[in-house]
Structure 1
Amino acid sequence: MTDFRYPSLRAVVLSSAGQDLRRCSHCSFCSGSFDSNGDTDITLEMLLQMVIMNDDEVLTSRTVWSDHVFESARHACANGLDMQAVLQALRDEARRRGLVAI
């Protein structure tokens, strides 16, 4: 459920990480660019869609908090989005909202 007390997640990613998710062409390259090692509950493509749709549940997904995904994600986008920066911005926002322990 979206909490309207906070800025949109797309705006958070743009301001915190400098990544404009409108660059995503939904090519699925990010979802198949590395072995998830079983650490994910959603693909990176689904994660981007959830951010664009401002779905706050993305902030507590296993994918956002997976160190394996985080380390593998920097060059996961064929369009040059820095997925590692996106994940870090989402982690920081989850902490700011008090959804996880610091």
Structure 2
Amino acid sequence: MASRRGPLVYIVLAATGQDVRRCRQCDCCILDDDLVARMDLLPSEVMQAVRQDDERALTNRTIWVCADADPDGMICPEGLDLHAIMAVLREEARRRGLAPGGP
């Protein structure tokens, strides 16, 4: 497993400029019911895991499901760029060897 580079909240912030601590946990960002059906965590739960530096932020199915999502299907009322955040989490999962199918 690759060494840690620091708390996930700061990895995301450094890579995207997005501060996941702004997430209000409202789940208003999900506009596509088909997308939700494929998720194991809601985006708000992923953001909470990032804030807690919980490995679930990197081992969930949601970050991979969001890769295929239409950007118009996930819009954060706080203006967070969910696609950019999820992309950083996917990359960090790959870096740590936590991606589905290995590194």
Misfit runs of 4+, over 3 Å: 72-75
Q: Is 1:19 aligned to 2:13, yes or no? A: no
Instruction: Flag structure 1 segments of 5+ consecutive residues without an equivalent.
Output: none
Question: Under a length normalisation based on structure 1, what TM-score does the superposition of the two structures give?
Answer: 0.80
Q: Is 1:77 aligned to 2:76, yes or no? A: yes
TM-fit CA distance, 1:37: 5.3
CA contact (8 A) 2:40 2:62 kept: yes
Instruction: Name the counterpart of 1:39.
Output: 38
CA contact (8 A) 1:73 1:82 kept: no
* Deviation string, structure 1 residues 24-43 (Cα, Å, up to 9, x no partner): 2222212x422225211010
Which amino acid in the other structure matches residue 65 of structure 1? W
Question: Under a length normalisation based on structure 2, what TM-score does the superposition of the two structures give?
Answer: 0.80
SS at match of 1:29: coil
The structure-2 alpha-carbon separation of the partners of 1:52 and 1:62, relative to structure 1 and needing over 3 Å to count, comes to: same
Q: Distance in 1 between matches of 2:70 and 2:47?
A: 16
Instruction: Name the counterpart of 1:57.
Output: 56
CA contact (8 A) 2:36 2:42 kept: no
The structure-2 alpha-carbon separation of the partners of 1:73 and 1:46, relative to structure 1 and needing over 3 Å to count, comes to: farther
Q: Distance in 1 between matches of 2:54 and 2:45?
A: 11
Q: Distance in 1 between matches of 2:24 and 2:57?
A: 20
Instruction: Flag structure 2 segments of 5+ consecutive residues without an equivalent.
Output: none
Q: Distance in 2 between matches of 1:52 and 1:78?
A: 18
Q: Distance in 1 between matches of 2:4 and 2:81?
A: 27
The number of residue pairs the alignment matches comes to 96
When the two chains are superposed, the root-mean-square deviation of aligned CA atoms in Å is: 2.0
CA contact (8 A) 2:5 2:11 kept: no
